[in-house]
Amino acid sequence: MAFTLQITRRSGLAALALGASLWATGAIAADDAFPSKPIRVIVPFTTGGVADTSARLVADHLGRRLNQQIVIDNKPGASGNIGMAMVKAAPPDGYTWVLGFDGTMVINPHVFAKVGFDSVADYAPIGKIGDATLILVANPNVPAKNLQELIALSKKTPGGLSYGTSGTGSTPHIAGELFKIRSGAQLTHVPYKGGGQAMIDVMGGSIPLVYTAVAGAYNHVKSGKLKPMAVSSPQRASSLPEVPTFAESGVSDFNAASWVGFLAPAQTPAAIIQKLNTELNATLNDPVVRDKLRVLGIEATPGSPDAFRDEIRRDLNRYGPVVKAAGIQVE
């Protein structure tokens, strides 16, 4: 009897171990009960920006598909590093995510002496939401009709041409530095505490250029208050199809689109990640969601967690040399 009990106990332990292994690797489906409580999404920025607004939009529709509330929790500070570190330390159970932004995940690690997280090792990507196209715009009085004329003008202007951005180490700042490297343009960066004042100054003539998101410049371009030079994405922006890309304008090997996506803490079970990715992609394929994102200047890009991780790793490697060449450093 004791012998039989011992075998049964060992068999039970083995079964439990096997079940745990299968769950961890995603070999069995996520429990139908997941999610059984509200999900918290840390947005490491203040409310009202494009990143925050996109997170709220997608979370609202995705929550309906999951039959569970997704709560946005804004935790700004240290250019997003504080919120990222919070999610790194959260339980890997699928109930805490972070809104990943390229500036935070692939630029901050090169700009800051210490960020408190590893962009690849500390997170399990759920999926990318989309790309936010960047655009270089000029005051209408700038005597350049296109990007090549602007490059030529910068080279014969003492001290070069100034371009404003939302801040040091921001994605537009890195895009501007990449533009200098790829084209030889003579440009001087002017950092602002947010893109709003930079936009006011370029329209008022205080600075000749601003690098910003298409969403922030769209109305001013359409009204003629700003002159578009080029967009940084591989393809033209659907909202401004008349504006050429940098590549079309003669600056080769240029892609500096911004992106946003959802990530969970590392070690979150693969089955949960897969379920969330499936529902996220279905949400992003909804024409209503796609159109609302497009209004924000974001093109939805449904895809796999692995593809999102590969892009994070690729951009980390791509932007490192640009940050170093520009000498950008924040203590």
Q: Is residue 251 part of a domain?
A: no
Q: CA-based Rg of the chain, rounded to a whole angstrom? A: 23
Dist. CA 218–CA 297, nearest whole Å: 9
Q: Is residue 2 part of a domain?
A: no
Q: Are 213 and 195 in contact (CB under 8 A)?
A: yes
101 shares a domain with 165: no
203 shares a domain with 144: yes
Q: How many domains does the chain have?
A: 2
CATH of the domain at 69: 3.40.190.150
Q: Is residue 138 part of a domain?
A: yes
Dist. CA 22–CA 28, nearest whole Å: 6
Which of these three, 181, 216, 231, is where a domain ends? 231
298 shares a domain with 221: no
Residues of the chain under the 50 pLDDT cut? 1-29
Q: Are 206 and 128 in contact (CB under 8 A)?
A: no
pTM for the model: 0.81
261 shares a domain with 179: no
Burial class (CB in 10 A: 0-12, 13-18, 19+), 235: middle
CATH of the domain at 210: 3.40.190.10
Query: Which residues does 122 contact at the CB level (< 8 Å), separation at least 6?
Result: 88, 265, 266
Domain that holds residue 192: 134-231
106 shares a domain with 52: yes
Residue 104, pLDDT score: 93
115 shares a domain with 49: yes
Q: Is residue 13 part of a domain?
A: no
Q: Is residue 285 part of a domain?
A: yes
Residue 27, pLDDT score: 42
Q: Beginning with the edge strand found earlier in the chain, give each strand of the sheet holding 258-265 in spatial order.
A: 70-74, 39-43, 96-101, 258-265, 123-132, 298-300
